[in-house]
Amino acid sequence: MENIQSILNKKNIDVEIEQYGNYIAKVNKVKSKNTNSKLVLVTSTNPTSMGEGKTTLSIGLCDSLNKLGKNSIVTLREPSLGPVFGKKGGATGGGKAYVYPKNDINLHFTGDFHAITSANNLLSAVIDNHIYFGNKLRIKEVYHKRCIDMNDRELRKKGFIITAASEIMAILCLSNDINNLKERLGNIIIGINEDDEYVYAKELDCINAMVILLKDAIKPNLVQTGYNNLAIIHGGPFANIAHGCNSVVATKTALNIADYVVTEAGFGSDMGALKFLDIKCRNNNFYPDVIVINSTIKSLKYNGEGNLEKGICNLEFHIDLMKKFNSNVIVSLNKFVEDTKEEIDFLKAFVENKNCKFVVSTMYNDGEDGCIDLANEIINIEDNNIRNEIYSLDDSIYEKINKTCKLLGATKVNYDERIKLILDKIEKSSFNKLPICIAKTPASITDDSKILGYPKDFSMTITDINISNGAGFIVISMGNILMMPGLAKESNYEKMKMEDYINE
């Protein structure tokens, strides 16, 4: 590892930083501005429970672009302690494509998650305190939930959610600066009063205290890859229950100081990528110049019940979906040692028959050499000539839901009378101008994790609705969604060794 300031000096990048030791820094101010940056969005086919290597590919691609003489930065989400100690493990890449210092990043890092958790739970405590001392706002029902950055099944029963699913996480990731952060925090709906009117966080005297807790957390975190290239890791909303992208501030910072910015959006393109395009890009002056769909033969076989030829239709769905939003779509196969030449040739022919570029990436084993073909394809792309929106903000809430579900292949959206009453109330309010954020299983295009591949003519069922007014979207929960995961029977914490972390 190199001192982070030394890397900035070598690359002639003019930013003001605050160092957290030698290898981690917060970006306080960007002094330079690049107006010709290319933005690369990395997404995936529907993943298996262990993931398909999106983060590893993003890091490897950044390293390969830098090896080819391009100034590239990778921007990622911060890992949550829930998956780190749970089944999936950390989120710092793998093999020869990783970010350092990986153990610090996977655990406490710069304390951003702690700050978000503290701000969230301060608001909960203030709400309870207000009710205890007379309830001047006549709060009848509290919507705001406490959170913790851990998979904890028992706390789920008590109404806790995981920090990555909290509205304050989404708010921090979608805020442009600290003033915008303050405004968004004030707009959080904390509950309803006795007249069934919404009560907002700004009606309590705690917003300044919440901003103070978050004043450093809103600053992007700067670290490095294994090849001493820059990485910005900031924010960590889950893509199945939130919008699944790193912070707007991180993306804009990278676009100002790099020629090529590589970023990822959580899970498959039906989840994080759609939300990146619909929520993150909608109010910001950036849009992907190219979309890379990462996939593995393992995941495609899983989608075909062990049969690649049957499961490849899942890749077809993601190609079809992303081509609706970008003219530059590249499929990258994350190659595993057990993948055969026949399987790779079959996949290549299928992708090229879809008029799509195909590359094989081996960054896990080959590091900065493993994504050279992908990097060259990106360097040589033509300008993207497609920029579509799923719906207009002027559409009704019903139209927004129907258009989004139709894009996934659903022919019908089901909901009961309770959901209809909520939708009707939203439609008659100013919230009807907000975008929507679908919360569903990442394992399937549908809201049923057991339906794999590329299903057609299915229905989706709305099970809950939450207005994240501070974040600026309405969460439409479909199917069985958990806002607080539990630990698996066999989890990653059992494999962790003290000496590996003390001696990094």
Write out pLDDT tens, residues 195-237: 999 999 999 999 999 999 999 999 999 999 999 999 999 999 9
- DSSP single-letter state for residue 7: H
Return the amino acid letter for 192.
Answer: I
Strand partners, 467: 474
Per CATH, the number for 112-214 is 3.30.1510.10
Per-residue tokens: 124: 């909960």
Q: Are strands 473-478 and 458-468 parallel, antiparallel or unpaired?
A: antiparallel
Buried b (16+ CB within 10 A) or exposed e, 66-86: bbbebbbbbbbbbbbbbbbbb
Q: Which of 151, 187, 147 is nearest to 165 (CA)?
A: 147
pTM value? Answer: 0.96
The owner of tokens 């705690």 is 206
Provide the CA 329 distance to its chain's centre, in angstroms: 19
- pLDDT, residue 503, reads 66
Considering Cα of 214, then 216, then 219, then 221, what sign does the dihedral take? negative
C-alpha 475/C-alpha 459 separation (Å) is 18
Residue spans per domain, the chain: 4-110+217-379, 112-214, 397-478
H or E stretch at 223 = strand 221-225
Q: Interhelix angle for 313-323 vs 341-353, to 10°? A: 30
Beta bridge partners of 38: 260
Second CATH level (architecture) for the domain 397-478: Roll (3.10)
Residues of the chain with pLDDT under 70: 503-504
Place domain 4-110+217-379 in its CATH homologous superfamily.
P-loop containing nucleotide triphosphate hydrolases (3.40.50.300)
Residue in the structure block whose two tokens are 């060794």: 497
CB atoms within 10 A of CB 90: 20
> Tokens 């529907």 sit at which residue?
46
170 in Cβ contact with 243 (< 8 Å): yes
DSSP 8-class letter at 164: G
What pLDDT, on a 0 to 100 scale, did the predictor assign at position 492?
87
